[in-house]
Amino acid sequence: MLLEIKDVKKDYKLAAGNKFVALKGINASFDRGELVSIIGESGSGKSTLMNLIGGLDLDFTGEINLNGKNIRELKEKELDLYRKNKIGFIFQSFNLITHLSVLDNVTIACILSNENNKTRIKRAEKILSDVGLKEHMHKKPNQLSGGQMQRVAIARALINEPEIILADEPTGALDSKTSEQILDIIKKISDSGKLVIMVTHSEKVASRSSRVVTISDGLIIDDKINVDEKVIHEFKEEVASKKQNLSFLSSIKLAFKNMIEKKSRNILVSIGASIGIMSVVLMLSLGSGVENYMTETMKGYVNPLVVEVNKKVDESNTTTNIPAPGASLLLSKTEPFEDKEIQDIKKIEKVENVELAYSITSMNSNKLIYGDKNTTVMMLGTVSSNITNENIKEGKRPSTNEILIDESTSDKLGGNILGKEVELEIAIDKKIIKQKFVVSGIYGGTSSSQMGNISMLYLNYDDIVKLARDNDYEIKPTTLYLTTSNEKDTESIKAKIEEMGYQGSKQEQMLEMFTEMISIVTYVLAAVSGVSLFVSAIMILVVLYISVVERTKEIGVLKAIGARRKDIKRIFTAEAFIIGLLSGTIGVCTAYVLGIIINAVTTKIFNVGVVNVSPVYVLFGIGVSIIVSVIAGLNPAAKAAKLDPVVALRRD
């Protein structure tokens, strides 16, 4: 015997500890090739029995043995395989999945088993032409008549070569002529050696089956063999059980097909969810853009092989600090280095050379004169390795008796003074000293727009010392420049300098402080925008919940066909994944476009773009979006996977 039912009892638990006994002890055996009609009044327990045989409900007592094996003893995995490969379900209301084509509806079980596409389609074509639907393969269910839909459902039930076909009122929703056609097909199926158990209300239908079982009030009250229709058949080979799983790609495809159906809703949700990602990415890009700009500017006038050293000065006596590029030309008190200190600094590891530097800052007593023009010199410094040739716009670094001037000074002296002789007039200790120098070059380390009109000149340290000495005044270096041959060594030198109680370049320190501040502000802003990610997550959660509710019936069908919990979960997770991918992409693209617009505006105003949407942020944005979305989808997916197929199928 293929199927043996022994003393099967089933009761439904009701509220307050009550129960309703739907099956009171069913005993029957069925064999291959039989076409069994189950008849009985509504509410007599026919569907209940079908669900038990179909493995949709294991909550019963007694035995249902297929090939001698009790299905109640199957593990969850085996039960899924039982539903997938041993049973084919046909429902009264067809229960086709509306967003899938006829072909996909028929082969959904194969997709769930991750079967090869070609064999899947070939098999479906064969079965569809058997039921006369070959030319309708690519239609959607709503483009078919009732009879055609039921034929699709039959094809779906047959696709995995099941041993038992269960049909619960398959002709209940069809007119008599169509019913005849469906019945012909069903008869052919049983003739091919399968066991077909069919619930019906129609006497006519029952009369064409080989056996009629009558159920009343949860018991079999009659079991008649219809000799005319009884045929004996040779058995078919059992199909090897398929153990593959729904692949990631197939789950994405399935999810995608469903999402296409709800296009506008999914797009709107993705746009909503994208706002969070967009603002996070934009904030990070803004921070990185500003930071980049700062360090680029810094690099423009700092030689990376040079470490600047100053002595610490009692800050309480310090006047305003104005960062000046090029040298330590600060409007602050400086303290000179003693020889002993210089010797000690020279000994620092990796330091190759120590250059001495000095600077004079004055508001109005120093002047540079060229012909009949003159200009106030605010800062006079010495040239060291910190001024590289890249910083010099025209000409070269000054050698003895030469001077390097900045652009604005050159402009004020009428321009075009490269190689010309100028006179420097400086006050040292209230004494006015004059000296002639030749302009060796124009310094371009910083644009005058950044520094305003502060004029800066650079001489050789030796020239300044000599100039002072000629006037009985001794100069000691106020700044040291340590050179090294490898950029990597500057960090350790800087650390050592600090350890020794000196301080580095003040503008560098300020820049560091500033960039640190920028990155803190950036992260705070990004975190604030991150709150909107939370809103996105909830939005996605709600949409997926709605999707689960809407598709309850579909989930029931999938389970009846043999989908595992995992497969159902995967389909919904895939949906969350797609929403995440979509919203992430939209968010990143909007951030990118906004970045271009903002950069265009700031370039116009400040001559520099401040938003830097780097590929890292693009990947980060999309990645975060997918993660948030998939996490939001976990719960709805689990809810879908947990749905009871019997309950889900009863839903209208």
Which residues contact ligand ADP (rule: CB under 6 A)? 12, 20, 22, 40, 42-48
For the chain, the residue count is 652
Strand, helix or coil for residue 226: coil
Residue 44 or 384 having the CB closest to ligand ADP: 44
Query: Does position 48 bind Mg ion by CB under 5 A?
Result: no
Nearest distance, CB of residue 93 and ligand ADP, angstroms: 13
Q: Which amino acid is at 647?
A: V
Strand, helix or coil for residue 195: strand
* Spatial contact of 442 and 407, defined as CB atoms under 8 Å apart: yes
CA atoms within 13 A on the CB side of 576: 33
Nearest distance, CB of residue 624 and ligand ADP, angstroms: 43
Interhelix angle 615-642/565-606, rounded to 10 degrees, is 150
| 8-state DSSP, 445 | S
Residue 212 or 465 having the CB closest to Mg ion: 212
100, two tokens: 């899938």
597, two tokens: 């617009």
Query: Does position 274 bind Mg ion by CB under 5 A?
Result: no
Strand, helix or coil for residue 442: strand
Nearest distance, CB of residue 103 and ligand ADP, angstroms: 31
Residue 44 or 583 having the CB closest to ligand ADP: 44
Residue 47 or 105 having the CB closest to Mg ion: 47
* H or E segment and range at residue 214: strand 211-216
Residue 47 or 483 having the CB closest to Mg ion: 47
Burial grade of 272 (CB within 10 A; 0-12, 13-18, 19 or more): middle
Query: Does position 92 bind Mg ion by CB under 5 A?
Result: no
Report how far residue 614's alpha carbon sits from residue 592's, in angstroms, rounded to the nearest whole number: 9
- Select the residue interacting with Mg ion from 47, 114, 536, 583 (CB under 5 A): 47
By C-alpha distance, which of 56, 577, 21 is closest to 273?
577
Nearest distance, CB of residue 51 and Mg ion, angstroms: 9
22, interface contact from ligand ADP, Mg ion, none, CB < 5-8 Å by kind? ligand ADP
Residue 37 or 490 having the CB closest to ligand ADP: 37
- Count of residues interacting with Mg ion (CB under 5 A): 1
Residue 260 or 647 having the CB closest to ligand ADP: 647
Residue 219 or 631 having the CB closest to ligand ADP: 219
Residue 287 or 645 having the CB closest to ligand ADP: 645
43, interface contact from ligand ADP, Mg ion, none, CB < 5-8 Å by kind? ligand ADP
Among the candidate windows 45-53, 130-138, 547-555, 615-623, which touches Mg ion by CB under 5 A?
45-53
Residue partners of 580: CB distance under 8 A and separation at least 6: 273, 540, 625, 626, 627, 628, 629, 630
CA distances from 233 to 34, 190, 226 (A): 9, 9, 16
* Spatial contact of 260 and 104, defined as CB atoms under 8 Å apart: no
48, interface contact from Mg ion, ligand ADP, none, CB < 5-8 Å by kind? ligand ADP
Among the candidate windows 26-34, 39-47, 583-591, 613-621, which touches Mg ion by CB under 5 A?
39-47
20, interface contact from Mg ion, ligand ADP, none, CB < 5-8 Å by kind? ligand ADP
33, interface contact from ligand ADP, Mg ion, none, CB < 5-8 Å by kind? none
- C-alpha 303: how far from its chain's center? 41
End-to-end alpha carbon distance in the chain: 36
Give residue number: closest CB to Mg ion. 47
Nearest distance, CB of residue 40 and ligand ADP, angstroms: 6
Nearest distance, CB of residue 21 and ligand ADP, angstroms: 9
Nearest distance, CB of residue 215 and ligand ADP, angstroms: 7
Q: Which amino acid is at 184?
A: D
Report how far residue 524's alpha carbon sits from residue 526's, in angstroms, rounded to the nearest whole number: 5
The DSSP bridge partners found for residue 21 are: 11
45, interface contact from Mg ion, ligand ADP, none, CB < 5-8 Å by kind? ligand ADP
Residues that bind Mg ion (CB under 5 A): 47
